[in-house]
Amino acid sequence: MSVTTRIQAFQESMQPTDVGVPGPTSLEMARGFRSIRADPLSFLVAVSGRFGDLVSFPVPGAPALLLNDPADARHVLQTAARNWRKETVQYAALARVTGPGLLASAEPSWIEHRRLAAPAFHHQRLLAVSDQVRAAARDAVGATLDRSAPAHGRTVDVAALTHTIGLDAVGRALFSTDLSGQAQALLDATSDAAELVVRLGRSVLPTAAWTPTRTNLRLRSARRRLDSGAAEIIAQRRARGATSTHGDDLLGLLLDSGMTDGEVRDELVTMVVAGHETVAAGLAWTLMLLAEHPEAQDRLRAELADHPGPVTLLDHRDQLPWTRAVIDEALRLFPPAWALSRRSDAADVIGGREVPPGTLVIISPWLMHRREDPWTEPLAFRPERFLDSGAGRSAYLPFGLGPRLCIGREFALGEMVVVLAELLREHRVTVPAGWSRPRAEAKVAVHPRGGMPLVVTRTGGGPA
Ligand code: HEM
């Protein structure tokens, strides 16, 4: 190929592919670059308001589309899932921390690891670890609030509290390990890694992992710290020895599966990253909504009073329907996973348009959950929506859809119910004087910027 032909081919590959879908121009994107980066959630809301359910972004090469029609999302994530893989910048960035673990893997062989891990999330196992999750919640609530929540109330950053519980619950339930010795180091390393992953996922030019940029160096340091945490957990378990098996928790299943230590490490770090930040953020927003809606909180406390026995990770929709509806509605308004991305292997039809191989799509639960159809008054907090017929469920995907649906869904929902029960049975949360909501910041999870300061008051049990 001549130099001129090569230059022409390069120039063509740098042109956006027009598939006849409206969207912002390159100039608009360039002008809005800083604000888009600072607040991608508002950007997504603005472009879908302006261009509708299918929006095209002016990127070089194959099309990049934002899909906000529930039927299109279902097509990509479920019906045609085989054609839409996780081969995207976001997942490549995540894989720099987690390796090709379950969450980031774009390979069809992901299914083998999913099958190996699945028994750790089966119903029987979740029932068995309910005590551990309850203990994680009780210990953290006790340590934070017994000191600091007198009868007249005290302001507490509940986001920090839910982070501690989230990490401890993963450690106890999935690895039968007390992570408290390395909790701060793991929390710091995962939050550093998460921040850097987001930065890499949003950067315009991909940087090779070996280039000594500041981000790469910091990422390497976070990864080293996570590696050493994971290595310690694996070594401790191996040191216990195995009679016939290493145990029936997730770590035992992985060690018995014949995976290499490197592969076990990837799954372990995946579960730490995917399993604590999301639940912690979801709980912090749930507590905020309950503090803003005291009547909903009183109803929840009354429901708990009618159910004095220990709460398990399962059966809460029957036993504590209001509590569960509150969680469902909080995950609608503040879905921790705010954007899912996929790339097509082969040509397909999306929203009636033919799209070529290599098309990137972004599906945002944050946007989908704010659609006026089917959600009436979508910004209002109304847990009742989830008590009845299931209206709106087609546009509800806090845990994704299809074969890549969150493996930790039942664990996460159960953990959230357990934590609310442990905290709110004997405490009330209210908003501090001069309250304004923390900004929703889109990192790996949508989390409250600067924490979630709420006033926690001891009630001594029963509705406040
Ligand atoms: C409220 C809490 C949680 C939310 C909102 C959430 C959300 C999600 C979503 C949306 C996906 C699909 C991503 C995609 O399709 O691109 C996902 C996948 C995943 N989640 Fe969760 N998650 C939560 C809790 C957890 C927990 C507690 C764990 C583990 C302990 C976990 C582990 C995973 C894993 C391993 C995957 C990848 C599954 C696969 O591809 O086979 N998540 N999660």
Mean pLDDT for the stretch of residues 337-364: 95
Query: What is the reported pLDDT for 205?
Result: 45
User: In whole numbers, what is the pLDDT of the chain averaged over residues?
Assistant: 88
Are 110 and 104 spatial neighbours (Cβ–Cβ below 8 Å)? Answer: no
pLDDT at residue 330 tops 70: yes
Is 353 close to ligand 1, i.e. is its CB under 6 Å away?
A: no
Angle ∠(387,389,393) on CA atoms, nearest 5: 90
Q: How confident is the model at residue 9 (pLDDT cuts 50, 70, 90)?
A: low
Instruction: Inform me whether the pLDDT recorded for 213 exceeds 80.
Output: no
pLDDT in tens, 97-132: 888 899 999 988 899 999 999 999 999 999 999 999
Matching residue, tokens 């546009």: 395
User: Whose C-alpha lies nearest to ligand 1, atom 26?
Assistant: 275
In terms of pLDDT, which residue wins out, 317 or 53? Answer: 53
Both structure tokens of 126 = 């979740």
Q: Total structural domains in the chain?
A: 1
Q: Per residue in 38-48, pLDDT tens? A: 898 999 999 99
Alpha carbon of 200 to ligand 1 centroid (Å): 20
Looking up tokens 């408290």 gives 180
According to DSSP, residue 79 is labeled: I
- Ligand 1 atom 9: residue of nearest CA: 399
Please compute the mean of the pLDDT values over residues 355-365 and round it to a whole number. 95
We report the CATH number of the domain holding residue 159 as 1.10.630.10
Is any atom of ligand 1 closer than 6 Å to the C-beta of 170?
yes
Half-sphere exposure of 106 (CA within 13 A, CB side): 18
**Nearest residue to 254 via CA among 274, 228, 233:** 233
How much is the pLDDT for 196? 67
Distances (CA, A) of 23 to 32, 52, 70: 14, 9, 19
The verdict on residue 89 lying in a domain is yes
State the Cα–Cα distance between residues 125 and 119, nearest whole angstrom. 7
C-beta of residue 374 within 8 angstroms of C-beta of residue 395: yes
Prediction ipTM score: 0.99
- Confidence class of residue 179 from pLDDT cuts 50, 70 and 90? confident
**Measured from the CA of 401, which atom of ligand 1 is nearest?**
15
Atom of ligand 1 at shortest distance to CA of 342?
A: 16
pLDDT in tens, 218-275: 778 878 888 888 888 888 888 877 666 777 899 999 999 988 888 999 999 899 889 9
For residue 113, the CA-to-ligand 1 centroid distance in Å is 14
Ligand 1 pocket, mutate which of 77, 112, 406, 415 (most atoms under 8 A from CB): 406
pLDDT range class, residue 390, cuts 50, 70, 90: low
pLDDT at 33 over 60: yes
- For ligand 1, the distance from its centroid to the CA atom of residue 254, given in whole angstroms, is 18
Quote the domain boundaries for residue 328: 15-458
Per-residue model confidence (pLDDT) at position 145: 81
Nearest residue (CA) to ligand 1, atom 39: 404
Which atom of ligand 1 approaches the CA of 270 most closely? 35
* Distance (Å, whole) CA 215 – CA 195: 10
238, 265 in Cβ contact below 8 A?
A: no
Name the residue with higher pLDDT: 399 or 29: 399
Strand-pair category, 84-85 with 453-458: unpaired
- What's the whole-model pTM score? 0.92
Q: Give ∠ CA 17-22-25 in degrees, rounded to 5.
A: 75
Report yes or no: 137 and 418 within 8 Å, Cβ to Cβ.
yes
Residue 293, phi then psi, degrees to nearest 5: -125, 80
CB 335 within 8 A of CB 298: no
For residues 69-93, give the mean pLDDT.
93
CA of 69 to the centre of ligand 1 (A): 22
Closest protein CA for atom 16 of ligand 1: 340
Residue 244 has a pLDDT of 62
Any domain includes 152: yes
pLDDT surpassing 60 at residue 399: yes
pLDDT band per the 50, 70, 90 thresholds, residue 464: very low
Task: For 87, list phi and psi in degrees, rounded to 5.
Answer: -90, 70
Instruction: Spell out the residues 6+ positions from residue 309 whose beta carbon is closer than 8 angstroms to its own.
Output: none
With a 6 Å cutoff on the Cβ, whether 129 touches ligand 1 is no
Ligand 1 pocket residue status of 407, Cβ below 6 Å = yes
| Single-letter amino acid, residue 37 | R
Asked if the model's pLDDT at residue 88 lies above 50, the reply is yes
Which residues 6+ apart lie within 8 Å of 220 measured at CB?
none
* Domain annotation covers residue 10: no
Among 194, 185, 188, smallest CA distance to 215 is for 194
Closest atom, ligand 1, to C-alpha of 365: 10
Residue 421 lies inside a defined structural domain of this protein: yes
Indicate if ligand 1 lies below 6 Å from the C-beta of 90: no
**Does the Cβ of 102 fall within 6 Å of ligand 1?**
yes
Q: Is the CB of 399 under 6 A from ligand 1?
A: yes
Write out the two tokens for 73.
């999302």
The whole-number average pLDDT for the span 338-349 is 95
- Atom 21 in ligand 1: residue holding the nearest Cα: 406
Band the pLDDT of 461: cuts 50, 70, 90.
Answer: low
pLDDT of residue 132: 94
Q: Within a domain: residue 54?
A: yes
Atom 13 of ligand 1, residue of closest alpha carbon: 400
Residue 322 has pLDDT above 80, yes or no: yes
Ligand 1 centroid–CA 273 distance in Å is 10
Any domain includes 3: no
Q: Is the pLDDT of residue 391 over 80?
A: no
pLDDT of residue 225: 83
Q: Which atom of ligand 1 is nearest to the CA of 166?
A: 27
Does residue 282 line the site of ligand 1, with CB under 6 A? yes
Average pLDDT over residues 54-76: 93
Task: Please state, for a pLDDT cut of 70, what percent of the chain lies above it.
Answer: 88
Residue 226 near ligand 1, beta carbon < 6 Å:
no
In sequence order, which residues have a C-beta less than 8 Å from that of residue 211 and are 6 or more positions away?
none
Instruction: Report residue 463's pLDDT band, with 50, 70 and 90 as the boundaries.
Output: very low
Radius of gyration (C-alpha) of the chain in whole angstroms = 23
Q: Is the pLDDT assigned to residue 96 strictly greater than 60?
A: yes
Counting residues of the chain whose pLDDT is more than 90, the rounded percentage is 59
Is residue 280 pLDDT above 50, yes or no?
yes
Other beta carbons within 10 angstroms of residue 460's beta carbon come to 9
Q: Report the C-alpha gap between 248 and 117 in whole angstroms.
A: 10
Token pair for residue 165?
């519980």
Say yes or no: CB of residue 66 within 6 Å of ligand 1: no
- 319 found inside a domain: yes
- Each residue's pLDDT tens digit, 186-208: 777 776 776 666 666 555 444 55
The verdict on residue 141 lying in a domain is yes
